[in-house]
């Protein structure tokens, strides 16, 4: 049942193109984005004036990424919060607030309690969930299912990419409801999403050097991850994967924050993985990141750079270069996350750990 792989996680990483494709399927009907379940009126969706995303762990990172797309496409303010913090700080919620709960299992206690709190405060709740019939979608007013299929590996991989996909669908649905995107734009964005499974498959075909690098770095004391804009939550996700699977100190930073403290951590030989923005799509950010990499390389860091194919400016500063296909900026996390998953899984295996069942972790966390 592991399809020839030693671990479910490795199989699930390979299943990501299908997870993305299946999550998109059937959601564009006559030029309109449709949800799976909608116990809300179209007017309710139009009336939304504020979005909160609540989730835990990797699902939270997918939520951080949702903010970039939803705000850009809808001009609605989006706040993203850890579900375990949300209801304890009296968030401002009302009838026109949309609370988006993202959960693979649909049973995470913190997220479920956040949903209940939101409903008590009369907010509308939309669930993005991978498990049909689980508690969170049952209690929600609307549902978008991620169709990643059952995820057995404790560390989330294909469910994460499916969550990103569903988040984009939600962004487009809200944009359409509010009139911030016309049908032709929505159709165009959807077509771009439909091209992503192939892009993810291409990344998967080229990850062998990432695996070799992971084995080489297996005895590192720590690994830092840097990103900016959508690369920042990707860096957080890369670090979480490494902590969970390889039990290694790993931390993700916003590259712009380096000089505000974290650069003090840089020492000779420390691996730093950098997720680069597109040199064309985000030229200014790109040049700032190049200076960041120069700085850390000058201080002895071993730089591992994930960059768009053909990005030549970054090459001189990359001790190791990992190329990903050029895709539009907001969708880049779908491709940039994949090498980080492979890196963590391979490094953990090189250290002799069971990547399907990392110590101390459970697949669904049903206690607060």
Run of H or E residues at 344: helix 333-350
Smaller CB distance to ligand F6R: residue 97 or 111? 111
Nearest Cα to Cα of residue 136 among 124, 127, 145: 127
Angle formed at CA 288 by CA 287 and CA 292, multiple of 5 degrees? 115
Could you say whether residue 74 binds ligand F6R (CB under 6 A)? no
Q: Are 159 and 146 in contact (CB under 8 A)?
A: yes
Of the candidates 135, 146, 156, 303, which one interacts with ligand F6R according to CB under 6 A? 156
Of the candidates 14, 103, 278, 341, which one interacts with ligand F6R according to CB under 6 A? 103
Q: Is 259 an annotated catalytic residue?
A: no
Query: Pick the catalytic residue: 50, 243, 288, 363?
Result: 363
Backbone angles phi and psi of 174, in degrees to 5: -65, -40
Could you say whether residue 365 binds ligand F6R (CB under 6 A)? yes
Of the candidates 56, 98, 127, 347, which one interacts with ligand F6R according to CB under 6 A? 56
Nearest Cα to Cα of residue 5 among 351, 368, 346, 360: 346
Smaller CB distance to ligand F6R: residue 97 or 103? 103
Could you say whether residue 104 binds ligand F6R (CB under 6 A)? yes
Instruction: Count Cβ atoms below 10 Å from residue 259 Cβ, excluding itself.
Output: 11
Nearest Cα to Cα of residue 53 among 72, 78, 70, 77: 78
Number of residues lying near ligand F6R (CB under 6 A): 15
Binding to ligand F6R by CB under 6 A, coded x per residue (else -) over 232-251, reads --------x---x-------
Could you say whether residue 58 binds ligand F6R (CB under 6 A)? yes
Cα 343 to Cα 90, 103, 215, 273, 335: the distances in Å are 39, 24, 9, 10, 14
Could you say whether residue 341 binds ligand F6R (CB under 6 A)? no
Smaller CB distance to ligand F6R: residue 45 or 83? 83
Pairing of strands 97-103, 28-29: unpaired
* Contacting range for ligand F6R; rule: CB under 6 A; set: 53-61, 84-92, 181-189, 297-305: 53-61
Min. distance of Cβ 354 from ligand F6R in angstroms? 14
Could you say whether residue 349 binds ligand F6R (CB under 6 A)? no
Rounded to whole angstroms, the Cα distance separating 101 from 116 reads 11
Looking at the annotation, which residues are catalytic? 363
Residues lying near ligand F6R in the complex (CB under 6 A) are found at: 56-59, 103-105, 108, 111, 155-156, 240, 244, 364-365
């Amino acid at each position: 049942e592991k399809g020839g792989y030693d671990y479910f996680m490795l199989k699930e990483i390979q299943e990501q193109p299908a997870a993305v494709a299946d999550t998109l399927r059937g959601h564009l009907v006559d030029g309109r984005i449709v949800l799976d379940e909608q116990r809300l009126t179209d007017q309710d969706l139009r009336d939304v004036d504020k979005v909160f995303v609540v989730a835990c762990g990797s699902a939270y990172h997918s939520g951080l990424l949702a903010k970039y797309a939803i705000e850009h496409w809808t001009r609605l303010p989006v706040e993203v919060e850890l579900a375990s913090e949300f209801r304890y700080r009296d968030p401002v919620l009302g009838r026109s607030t949309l609370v988006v709960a993202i959960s693979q299992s649909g049973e995470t206690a913190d997220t479920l309690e956040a949903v209940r709190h939101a409903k008590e405060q009369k907010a509308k709740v939309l669930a993005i969930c991978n498990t049909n019939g689980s508690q969170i979608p049952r209690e929600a007013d609307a549902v978008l299912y991620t169709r990643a299929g059952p995820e057995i590996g404790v560390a989330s991989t294909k469910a994460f990419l499916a969550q990103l996909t569903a988040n984009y669908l939600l962004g487009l649905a809200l944009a359409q409801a509010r009139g911030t995107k016309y049908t032709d734009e929505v159709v165009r964005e959807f077509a771009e999403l439909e091209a992503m499974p192939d892009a993810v498959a291409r990344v998967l075909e080229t990850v062998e050097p990432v695996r070799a690098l992971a084995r080489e770095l297996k005895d590192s004391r720590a690994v830092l991850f840097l990103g900016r804009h959508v690369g920042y939550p990707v860096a957080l996700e890369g670090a979480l994967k490494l902590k969970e699977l390889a039990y290694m100190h790993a931390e993700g930073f916003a590259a712009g924050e380096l000089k505000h403290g974290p650069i003090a951590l840089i020492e000779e030989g420390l691996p730093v993985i950098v997720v680069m923005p597109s040199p064309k799509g985000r030229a200014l950010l790109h040049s700032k990141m190049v200076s960041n990499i120069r700085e850390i390389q000058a201080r002895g860091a071993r730089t591992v750079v994930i960059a768009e194919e053909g990005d030549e400016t970054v090459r001189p500063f990359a001790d190791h270069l990992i190329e990903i296909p050029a895709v539009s900026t907001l969708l880049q996390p779908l491709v940039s996350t994949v090498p980080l998953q492979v890196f963590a899984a391979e490094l953990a295996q090189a250290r002799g750990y069971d990547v399907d069942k990392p110590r101390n972790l459970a697949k669904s966390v049903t206690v607060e």
